[in-house]
Structure 1
Amino acid sequence: MPIVVRPARRPDAPAMCQLLNAIIREGGTTAHREAFSEEKMIALYIEAPLGIACTVATEGEDVLGFQSLEWCDPNWTGDHALPADWTVIATYVAQAAHGQGIGRMLFSETIKAARAAGVKTIDATIRHENTGGLAYYSRMGFVDYHQYDEACAKRFDLT
């Protein structure tokens, strides 16, 4: 069955939760610490208020991975605030689907959406122990721009 990359929809939420919750349970590769409900998945990824794109890679009914891109929150007052004209990317791929090029397929679609939205800079902040994530974003062309205690901030400039 071919892998299909398309925009995420509400009916994808259960499978997306299953994928992300497995990553959270495994630990060490995401900043998320609490399991996602379908409502939370829809609110934070599928229909994010500042969202530009949320894309899934599917094979039949299975979600193999998903990637989101959203504008930075201009009202964020917490640690590591970014310029309001930057965007933030998040990528999740099922363990069983690693090495199949899912991340590259997702990023190809995300870049199209980013260009259409006029994005200039994408931030990917990855935990240091997430060596696979760090390598993935480097392969996609992201470059390090800041080191935090627990994470490395990488950027991708579209200009």
Structure 2
Amino acid sequence: MTPSVRRAGVLDARPIAELLNDVIARGGTTAMTDPVTRDDIAAWMGSDPRAIWHLAEDDGGDLLGFQWVDPHPALGPEVAQIASFARVGKTGLGIGSALFEATKAACRAAGYTWINAEIRADNESGLTYYQSRGFEDHGRIRDYRLANGQTVDKILKRYDL
């Protein structure tokens, strides 16, 4: 199965929120701890004109994963901050690879010069994913406090476009 990748829009907000809530409920891979709504996703999509959202679907149109970037608030407008999510139980199927190829091309076209990823240090699959895409370590955030009070370290990774 090769996933189909396309730009995501506001009409995709509900299935994106449902997939993300499954990931949040499972725990351990995202810094998000509170469920999100369709309206939350729609607001994030419209929060910056340089935000880029892609989703991956199977042949039947079911959502397999999504990825988005927007300008990093502290590192400058040429730096894209990335987030990537695959449906629980659907990792290792080429979803992340397909999404990143689309995101990478869109970032170049939008004028970004590099992509920053912040991955929980205890998220082995996330660290492996970004490493396999060519991201390199460039820093660490120690004792990052999640909304539920838990603290985790975050590994900062960089991909030069």
TM-score by length of 1: 0.88
Q: Is 1:98 matched up with 2:91?
A: yes
Report if the CA contact (8 A) 2:29-2:126 is conserved: yes
Q: Which residue identity is paired with 1:148?
A: I
Matched residue of 2:89: which SS? helix
1:153 maps onto 2:153 in alignment: no
Q: Flag structure 2 segments of 5+ consecutive residues without an equivalent.
A: 143-152
The residue aligned with 2:13 is 13
Correspondence for 2:118 = 125
Q: CA deviation at 1:111?
A: 0.8
1:86 — aligned with what? 79
Question: Which residue of structure 2 aligns with residue 114 of structure 1?
Answer: 107
Deviation at 1:48, TM superposition (A): 3.2
- Shift of residue 83 of structure 1? 3.0
Three-state SS of the structure 2 residue aligned to 1:148 is: strand
Aligned residue in 1 for 2:147:
none
Instruction: State the Cα RMSD in Å.
Output: 1.5
| Percent identity for Structure 1 against Structure 2 | 37
Match of 1:142 among 127, 130, 135: 135
Shift of 1:9: 1.8
Corresponding position of 2:35: 35
TM-score by length of 2: 0.87
Alpha-carbon shift at residue 84 of structure 1 (Å) = 3.5
For the 8 Å contact 1:52–1:114, the answer to whether it is kept is no
Deviation at 1:47, TM superposition (A): 2.6
CA distance in structure 2 between the aligned counterparts of 1:131 and 1:51, rounded to whole angstroms: 29
8 Å Cα contact 1:54/1:69 also seen in 2: yes
Q: CA deviation at 1:2?
A: 5.7
Assess if the C-alpha contact under 8 Å between 2:3 and 2:98 holds in 1: no
Number of aligned pairs? 150
